[in-house]
Amino acid sequence: MADAEVLFLVAGRDKAEALARALDGAALPAERIQPRSGRLLWYVDRGVVQGLECGFAGRKA
């Protein structure tokens, strides 16, 4: 069975630093998740976005 979608749910302002590190390519367990087919989606709540200092806030995919 092919991967249709893989979802990460990130909630809470205290997770902003970890999300920024993951998106910047830091060696974290999340880095190992690479769907062979389908999509990798990040669902992020407002608290996380407000905690980001890396320019992702307010950007829509």
Tens of pLDDT, residues 15-56: 998 888 888 888 888 878 888 888 889 899 998 988 887 555
Q: How far apart are alpha carbons 55 and 61 in whole angstroms?
A: 13
* Residue 50 structure tokens: 């407000």
Q: Which residues of 11-37 are buried (b: 16+ CB within 10 A; e: fewer)?
A: eeeebbeebbebeeeeeeebeeeeeee
Rounded to two decimals, the pTM is 0.67
* Residue 22 structure tokens: 């993951």
